[in-house]
A and B are shown apart, each in its own frame.
Chain A
Amino acid sequence: MVVNATQRLLETSTLISQGAEAKIYKGQLHPSATLKNSSLKDDPDAIPVLFKYRFHKQYRHPTLDTSLTKARVQGEARAILRCLRAGVKVPGIRMVDAPEGVLGIEWIDGKSVRFLLGGGAEGEEEIEEVDDAVADEDEDSEQEDFLRDYGVTPDQVMKLIGTEIAKMHKADVVHGDLTTSNMMLRHPLKAGGSAEMVLIDFGLAYVSTLVEDKAVDLYVLERAFSSTHPSSESLFAGVLNAYAIKMGKDWKAISNRLDEVRLRGRKRSMLG
């Protein structure tokens, strides 16, 4: 089997995690150069790159899979470029190989907003009838420590989220999958500095000028907030506030449409 350059690049990288549709690797664009020149190997300047590999999905029909993968890698690269041009904080593009399904982007040192807000059902387990109740872990204070390390408060994070989304929407990019997992806080380089919010995962992004699409984008985020962070629903108001300020006169139309979109969805109670 012929192994092409992209596959070799993945082989030299380390698998970090498996997301919804791609495997995430951490590696370097020129690993061979680093390996040959051993003095460079531990060079702190050897800049890491994140590879997003959309591997072949066995469950999907091969024809469907190939065309989807190619379209998504291309789409993601285009959306990121468009954001970069508009000054939205997104990772820079390092390489694209659409037929192979590989996208190389800038490595961001930080944590996802979802992690910092402590959301999700992860690691929770249910057992029947235990004699003593297990003491609740003091989760909140732990999350606060993380946020302090990043030099931000939850309210500031919400403001950052709203502002970045507004910048993105002003560039007519619709993210398509806004969740708190798809937002990262870049760790401040020096102590005392404050973190920067970076939008990631543009796998479902597309370009649109329609108010409808932008409103649905916000609605997706709202739903993600209420499902992953059930106790912090009020925080979402902070996101919308910052968004409204940044959007200026365009906000009115989007706000009205957002109210309409909220009423959609099936089996909703039609009272009030």
Chain B
Amino acid sequence: MPGKIRKRSPLKVPEQPYIALGLEGSANKLGAGIIKHSPDGSTTVMSNVRHTYITPPGEGFLPRDTAQHHREWILTVINDALSKAGISLHDVHCICYTKGPGMGAPLTSVALVARTLSLLYSKPLVGVNHCVGHIEMGRQITGAKNPVVLYVSGGNTQVIAYSQQCYRIFGETLDIAVGNCLDRFARVINLSNDPSPGYNIEQEAKKGKRLLTLPYTTKGMDVSLSGILTSVETYTTDKRFRPQGSSEGEENADIITPQDLCFSLQETVFAMLVEITERAMAHIGSKEVLIVGGVGCNERLQQMMSIMAKERGGQVFATDDRFCIDNGIMIAQAGLLSYRMGFGTPLSKSTCTQRFRTDEVHVAWRA
């Protein structure tokens, strides 16, 4: 390799402050956020409001009901965001909404609101890729320059690295997403969906002691998770399984508790994720890792990742639940970056799509 190639960022320093409203509703979280880019190069989060649709234990969220929730709450959420930021919609430069990927019905109900606001206040619309939103917000908050990104959430599991104006997917799941795997297992053992199934799995896993054998399926830089879910579900029909946990006098007996299963599931799945991330780091020679997405706020995953990074002399960047879990501010951030590069979505093109890969986006704002 020749020495370090320094590239010039195509993003101009703004000559005036720019403010963007971001609307997100691709899954069960509804969010509105307002971000400001100042001429001195700084970025301010003016407000970041979220409302989550929580279903009873044992149930997932269905598209129809989730869309219904979003329709009921979106005006409250937007008003909240505006009043917290202390601005009116007239001060906003552009309205950013999630174009995809995500669930169809929730996406369209939020996009409808975005379109309406855009017409009412004559503000340009900017359609944003949800995954790129996560990455840009993670970079902004942590200050990571050119990290390998592990994007883990309920609908996505990808290892991404930037190259030539595109976020390229190095590895991804071949079947279900890691959040989906954890959430569905939470449903099997009847954990609460409040605040999120993944959070409750994390708490249960802390009490687990026994590591049960589960498949370990990394394929190059890809992973497969559906077999692990089946396998961990099968343990709940094992005759050693005690749904209520271990009772008195059974501490050393050969039993399996839900806590053990949560522990084993996390250890196995996260080890696989850390491994593929490490593989990508070794492959492209990067020393920084950024974890984004809802599963990214799992502290065990962050801990494992930072041990791995330390072993390689690298560094981990992670954010907390305000920015990890789906939110409006990340849509505003990514949208404003592309707006400043002159990108806009005309009304006739302001559609949504359930399938929108991270590598389809032209990342004009990076060198």
Task: List residues of chain A with CB under 8 Å of any chain B CB.
Answer: 18-21, 57-61, 63-64, 68, 115, 118, 120-130, 133-134, 137, 139, 142, 176-179, 181, 204, 216, 220, 223-224, 226-228, 230-231, 264-270
Min Cβ gap B232→A in Å is 14
Separation of A134 and B9 alpha carbons in the complex (Å): 11
Nearest CB in chain A to that of B278: its residue: A20
Fill in one digit per residue for B158-171: 1 if any A CB lies within 8 Å of its CB, else 0.
Answer: 00011110101110
Instruction: Tell me if A20 and B279 are in contact (CB < 8 A).
Output: yes
Question: For residue A264, which residues in chain B have a CB less than 8 angstroms away from its CB?
Answer: 174
Instruction: Tell me if A227 and B168 are in contact (CB < 8 A).
Output: yes
Contact A227/B267 with A58-B311, A128-B11 known, Cβ cut-off 8 Å: no
Contact A19/B1 with A59-B304, A64-B271, A268-B355 known, Cβ cut-off 8 Å: no
Is B349 an interface residue when CB atoms closer than 8 A count as contact?
no
- In the complex, identify which listed stretch (B80-88, B283-291, B324-332) lies at the interface while the others stay far away: B283-291
Question: For residue A266, which residues in chain B have a CB less than 8 angstroms away from its CB?
Answer: 156, 172-173, 177
Contact A123/B173 with A176-B219, A220-B220, A267-B355 known, Cβ cut-off 8 Å: no
Contact A59/B305 with A20-B279, A123-B285, A130-B8 known, Cβ cut-off 8 Å: yes
Interface of chain B residues 206 through 262 with chain A (CB within 8 A):
211, 216, 218-222
Contact residue among B6, B11, B211, B354 (Cβ-Cβ distance under 8 Å from A125): B6
Contact A59/B357 with A122-B285, A124-B4, A181-B283 known, Cβ cut-off 8 Å: no
Question: For residue A127, which residues in chain B have a CB less than 8 angstroms away from its CB?
Answer: 6-9
3 pairs of A and B residues whose beta carbons are closest in the complex: A122-B285, A20-B282, A59-B304
Min Cβ gap B122→A in Å is 31
Instruction: Tell me if A139 and B2 are in contact (CB < 8 A).
Output: yes
Instruction: Tell me if B4 and A220 are in contact (CB < 8 A).
Output: no
Instruction: Tell me if B308 and A57 are in contact (CB < 8 A).
Output: yes
Separation of A230 and B363 alpha carbons in the complex (Å): 15
Contact residue among A19, A57, A129 (Cβ-Cβ distance under 8 Å from B8): A129
Question: For residue B1, which residues in chain A have a CB less than 8 angstroms away from its CB?
Answer: 115, 118, 120, 122-123
Separation of A193 and B145 alpha carbons in the complex (Å): 43
Instruction: Tell me if B357 and A18 are in contact (CB < 8 A).
Output: no
Separation of A223 and B356 alpha carbons in the complex (Å): 18
Question: For residue B3, which residues in chain A have a CB less than 8 angstroms away from its CB?
Answer: 123
Separation of A179 and B275 alpha carbons in the complex (Å): 16
- Could you list 10 A-B pairs, sorted by A, with CB under 8 Å? A20-B282, A57-B271, A60-B271, A122-B1, A126-B9, A134-B7, A176-B220, A177-B279, A178-B220, A265-B174
Task: List residues of chain B with CB under 8 Å of any chain A CB.
Answer: 1-9, 11-13, 41, 100-101, 145-146, 156, 161-164, 166, 168-170, 172-174, 177, 211, 216, 218-222, 267-268, 271, 274-275, 278-279, 281-286, 303-305, 307-308, 311-312, 353-357, 360, 366-367
Nearest CB in chain A to that of B274: its residue: A59
Instruction: Tell me if A267 and B101 are in contact (CB < 8 A).
Output: yes
Question: For residue B354, which residues in chain A have a CB less than 8 angstroms away from its CB?
Answer: 267
Separation of A121 and B41 alpha carbons in the complex (Å): 26
Instruction: Tell me if B5 and A124 are in contact (CB < 8 A).
Output: yes
Question: For residue B169, which residues in chain A have a CB less than 8 angstroms away from its CB?
Answer: 227
Question: For residue B307, which residues in chain A have a CB less than 8 angstroms away from its CB?
Answer: 58-59
Min Cβ gap B270→A in Å is 8
Contact A126/B218 with A227-B168, A265-B172 known, Cβ cut-off 8 Å: no
Name which of A20, A130, A134 has the most chain B CB atoms within 10 A of its CB. Answer: A20
Contact A128/B13 with A58-B307, A64-B267 known, Cβ cut-off 8 Å: yes
Contact A220/B7 with A21-B275, A129-B13, A227-B169 known, Cβ cut-off 8 Å: no
Contact residue among A61, A123, A129, A227 (Cβ-Cβ distance under 8 Å from B271): A61
Contact A134/B6 with A121-B284, A176-B219, A220-B220 known, Cβ cut-off 8 Å: yes
